[in-house]
Structure 1
Amino acid sequence: MTKTKLSALGFASALALSACSSDTDAGGGTTGTAGVDDSTITVTTSFYPLTFLVEEIGGDNVTITDLTPPGADAHGVELSPREVADLENSDLVLYVEKLSPAIDNAIAASDKDAVNIGEYVNLLPYDELAGDPHAHDHDDHAHEDEAHEHDDHDHDHDDQAGHDHGTHDPHFWTDPGRMMLAADQVVAELIELDPENEETYLANRDAVKERLQGLVDDLNSIDALQCRTDAFLVSHKAFAYLGNEYGLVELGIAGFDPEIEPSPARVREVTELAGEHDLDTVFATSDGEMKTASAIGDEAGLSVEILDSAATQRDADLDYVEVMEQNLELLRQSMGC
């Protein structure tokens, strides 16, 4: 199994602070590791889709710390000293490189073998998904801003805040087919740590993959030719894999990076696109992006809904599969299927 071995740059001060903290999970993660049963595998995950898979496959044999709190922006998450300590002390760390800069930095500054799930789920280049994170205000229907320049050396992309987006879109989890690939790697990691429970882990993996396959089948059942439109409009392009795999056209207000505010010109451009594609809805991909979506909705006369990217668990009563089932129904309604 390929793992990312990262050099120790020293997190001593943060860890010292964490030793003085209480057992309360100040960072809002799913579970903390303080006071847990030593017989369980302690797992730190970078965000909810990985947490979901570990919960489903590991069951009672795992204790999880999710570094992205419910409702937070996975791209802009910041870590508390306690969460840094949980990462350092975990038996297993699962993340997706280039999604969360703070988590990437914490892993790079630790002495951990962290598993980059992005290596196992067939990530695609931004350009292949009809977009470029460096050109913030365009998609496949818009003009690229000539003021942006590409780095000719490593072809990675940095936004105005200095975030390195890499070359491949990390939002793999909006395609349940790629979540099945991630499930295969999660079970392999758990079995390596706890071979005595291999049979349980494999059975749990098969069960969750059956649910994920149901989502794949439902998405494949959408016949865009029978819908009013084959397009959907979102606040940022978190659903590029879903659109690419299932023949739908994702239109993004703010490109791949939710932190970039659309310019007035982009707002006008998106309003025109909404008319061209006969759209009646604009989706925010999180609560934090409702302002952007509402601005377009007011301008273009569109209803505003949340198409939950499931990067965090907004509703504790709904798991990843149930959220995606709701998304599928919202897409059908918005496209007139």
Structure 2
Amino acid sequence: MTTISACSSDSKADGTVDVVAAFYPLQFVAERVGGAAVKVTNLARPGVEPHDLELEPKQLAGIADADLALYLKGFQPAVDEAVEAEAKKTSFDVATVQPLDDAADGEENGKDPHVWLDPTRLATIADQVAERLAAVDKDNADAYKLGAVKLKIDLTALDEEYTKGLQNCARTDIVTSHAAFGYLAKRYNLTQVPISGLSPEAEPSPQRVAEVAALAKEKGVTTIFFETLVSPKVAQTLATEVGARAEVLDPIEGLRADAAPGEDYLSVMRQNLTKLREALGCR
């Protein structure tokens, strides 16, 4: 997988389609669907939390020059503003593929953007990305369609692994530091219990922490999950209080800066499955 951290004008010179992806899951889809025919720029650097992304002038220019800009409206305000100003006719809001679910976080209202954590929804997005690429580059339309089909095969296999792996579990409640796992929970019949809301930096109220602690004790929760790109302090404190352990569950908003070679959406999702099976006592 190729990660390009700065925008480039070379793509049009060498015949490839210039795609800007607002954050990692969209980069993953574009690279898998587009293959060698596309050059993908990820606006969010590995290891950096993408919610509060601030764009540099060269990134704004890259959005304006791109053949296709992929983003998810409402997830990154700076990207929304830049797309509206610079790339309205060449952009694709992946949130339009299917209606976003309401966030179920106990503290704030809003739409949950984390659709990529349901592999079946990501497959639907991939189909639409293939259509958008084909509209830009008709000569490679069949290749884009094939790329989407191959990706869908991988995502279907992943979905089947999750369905089977989470079918017979002692528990179904997952306590998370951030309300990022609603789509995953819905798809696999789990219950997400977030400590804080949609914003990973938001501090939960003492009342909310007490509510989650009481529920965790009542349900026999053994693991409190926290994210890769934000502080684990609240989750670790709660884990100590309820006699559980704190563990990473990755929302895959971006890859870690120290990600292993070859690590991608599929491998991180499988790491998450292993951790969920252990936390939920699955057979």
Report the TM-score, using the length of structure 1 for normalisation: 0.77
- Letter of the 2:210 partner, please give it: R
Asked if residue 326 in structure 1 is aligned to residue 268 in structure 2, the reply is no
Match of 1:197 among 140, 151, 158: 140
Correspondence for 1:336: 281
Cα deviation digits, residues 178-224 of structure 1 (max 9, x gap)? 00110001100111111111222122211111010011112222455
Residue 288 of structure 1 deviates from its aligned partner by 1.3
Residue 331 of structure 1 deviates from its aligned partner by 0.4
Moved over 4 A (4+): none
Residue 37 of structure 1 deviates from its aligned partner by 5.3
Correspondence for 2:31: 55
Question: 2-side partners of 1:302 and 1:289: how far apart?
Answer: 18
Match of 1:179 among 109, 116, 122: 122
Contact kept in structure 1, 2:105 and 2:196, CA below 8 Å? no
- Letter of the 1:268 partner, please give it: A
Question: 1-side partners of 2:218 and 2:155: how far apart?
Answer: 33
Correspondence for 2:66: 90
- Letter of the 2:218 partner, please give it: E
Correspondence for 1:124: 101
Gaps of 5+ in 2: none
Match of 2:82 among 81, 103, 106: 106
Residue 329 of structure 1 deviates from its aligned partner by 1.0
Identity of aligned residues (%): 35
Question: 2-side partners of 1:301 and 1:179: how far apart?
Answer: 36
Question: 2-side partners of 1:205 and 1:236: how far apart?
Answer: 30
Contact kept in structure 2, 1:53 and 1:183, CA below 8 Å? yes
Deviates more, 1:279-288 or 1:77-86: 279-288
Secondary structure at 1:287 match in 2 = coil
Cα deviation digits, residues 113-138 of structure 1 (max 9, x gap)? 22101000342233xxx346xx34xx
Residue 285 of structure 1 deviates from its aligned partner by 2.4
- Letter of the 1:117 partner, please give it: V
Question: 1-side partners of 2:192 and 2:57: how far apart?
Answer: 38
Gaps of 5+ in 1: 1-27, 137-156, 158-166
Question: 2-side partners of 1:100 and 1:111: how far apart?
Answer: 15
Contact kept in structure 1, 2:11 and 2:17, CA below 8 Å? no
Cα deviation digits, residues 308-335 of structure 1 (max 9, x gap)? 1111122253110111111111100100
Correspondence for 2:151: 208
Which structure's residues are more often helix, by fraction? 2
Report how many residues are paired: 275
Correspondence for 1:32: 7
- Letter of the 1:32 partner, please give it: C
Question: 1-side partners of 2:248 and 2:9: how far apart?
Answer: 35
Question: 1-side partners of 2:219 and 2:57: how far apart?
Answer: 47
Correspondence for 2:222: 280
Report the TM-score, using the length of structure 2 for normalisation: 0.91
Residue 296 of structure 1 deviates from its aligned partner by 1.8
Cα deviation digits, residues 125-156 of structure 1 (max 9, x gap)? 33xxx346xx34xxxxxxxxxxxxxxxxxxxx
Residue 292 of structure 1 deviates from its aligned partner by 2.6
Question: 1-side partners of 2:83 and 2:31: how far apart?
Answer: 22
Contact kept in structure 1, 2:105 and 2:194, CA below 8 Å? no
Match of 1:219 among 139, 151, 162: 162
